[in-house]
Amino acid sequence: MPENNKPRVLKNIANHLLDFELKETFYYLKFAQKAKLKADKFLSFFKTNCKITNNMYDINNLYKLKGIKRFICNTDVTWCKNGKYGYDRGFLCDFPNMKTGDNIAYSIDFGSGKLDKKKKKSLKKYAKNFKHISVRNIFRIEEFKEVTDRDDAVITIDPTFLIDSSDYDKIAKMPDNLKDYVLVYNCQENDPRIQQKAEEYAKKNGKKVVVIDCYVKFFSGYKNLNISMQGIDEFLGLVKNADCVFTNSYHGICFSIIYKKNFVAFGRKANPDKINTLLELFSLYDCMYSEEDELKIHKIDYDKVYKKLYKYRDEADAFLKTALNK
């Protein structure tokens, strides 16, 4: 990371700490070393695999970007209102220098829950900053069109699906001396059922349980910690080599599909449409865990799944070619 951006990073960390509840702050401090290790791995990955500008742009200095023909917003959450911080105008191209008239919003999500009058007004305003818009939430596309007066909005799949597993293999790092395991990826909400059901399945089938951390505050919820402090490359390797994946993560399911893994999906309160969209698109509702039924690992017919995937990829490709005037 450029030297001139380090003070800003420290300031952001301090602000996040101030936003935490006391209990969360305690967990953060207790596992600070592990959290730093993970952050270092992410930074190392970006430096190795990405071309990064000397300056980092954020909401405070985006106005300095000049002469850019087109901005492309590719995100799943930043069209959502973030508590007291409101909407991130950067991701909504809502600065004078960003309103080029040729902007693209690809596979965006505008959250869950009822849209009040104020949110509807904001979405309609911000949608005008984009010439082309695609949405990932199949359950709310008609609502989005109505709220924003954008009948041209279409559904496109998550960008992680636009390339093959062989492309991810080029950057994936295989786990050392780790075989015959099931993978737990607990995201957004600490759901103890995920760990519990994974351990039941692992014990019955002679497997180990590996936990990918997502939030530091979750660590205290596990009795038998086998936490993997993974970077992006290690995350890919862990999914690829897993016997089965237990997760409530949207992208945990995405990469399970990409690597053709059997998985068990767990619902969550925060934006449940994200996971339900994937299960609907690929006809995989049998993979959703149900309290009423005994845990079963549904064997997925990936020939059928990939026929759908290639169709959705063609649709996304057509949208992007049109948007990019190619």
What was the pLDDT predicted at 192? Answer: 81
Q: Show the beta-strand stretches assigned E in the chain.
A: 72-74, 104-108, 132-135, 154-155, 181-185, 208-212, 227-228, 244-247, 263-265
Confidence band of 3 (pLDDT split at 50, 70, 90): very low
What was the pLDDT predicted at 26? Answer: 61
Q: Around Cβ 45, how many Cβ atoms within 10 Å?
A: 17
Identify the weakest region by mean pLDDT among 153-157, 162-166, 217-221, 321-325.
217-221
How many CA atoms within 13 Å lie on the side-chain side of 277? 26
Q: The whole model's pTM is what?
A: 0.86
Confidence band of 191 (pLDDT split at 50, 70, 90): confident
- What's the whole-number mean pLDDT along residues 22-30? 59
What was the pLDDT predicted at 79? Answer: 85
What was the pLDDT predicted at 123? Answer: 92
What was the pLDDT predicted at 81? Answer: 77
The closest of 255, 172, 246 to 209, measured between CA atoms, is 246
Q: Cβ contacts of residue 278 below 8 Å, gap of 6+?
A: 250, 253, 254, 257, 265, 284
Confidence band of 24 (pLDDT split at 50, 70, 90): low
Rg (CA), the chain: 21
What is the rounded CA–CA span in Å between residue 263 and residue 300?
Answer: 9
Confidence band of 17 (pLDDT split at 50, 70, 90): low
Top-confidence residue, 59 or 281: 281
Top-confidence residue, 313 or 231: 313
Residue 301 pLDDT greater than 90, yes or no: yes
Residue 37 pLDDT greater than 90, yes or no: no
Q: For a pLDDT cut of 70, what percent of the chain falls above it?
A: 83
Q: What is the dihedral of CA 27, 31, 36, 37, to 10 degrees?
A: -140
- What's the whole-number mean pLDDT along residues 62-88? 82
What was the pLDDT predicted at 115? Answer: 87
How many CA atoms within 13 Å lie on the side-chain side of 173? 10
The closest of 107, 103, 108 to 79, measured between CA atoms, is 108
pLDDT digits (tens, 9 = 90+) for 79-96: 887 766 678 888 999 999
Contact criterion met (CB below 8 Å) for 230 and 38: yes
What was the pLDDT predicted at 74? Answer: 85
Count of residues in the chain: 326
Confidence band of 224 (pLDDT split at 50, 70, 90): very low
- What's the whole-number mean pLDDT along residues 299-325? 97
Top-confidence residue, 151 or 78: 151
What was the pLDDT predicted at 205? Answer: 94
What was the pLDDT predicted at 15? Answer: 62
What is the rounded CA–CA span in Å between residue 203 and residue 198?
Answer: 9
269 token code pair:
């309160």
Identity of the highest mean pLDDT range in 55-59, 186-190, 279-283, 293-297? 279-283
**How would you label 238-266 residue by residue, b for 16+ Cβ within 10 Å and e otherwise?**
bbbbbbbbbbbbbbbbbbbbbbebbbbbb
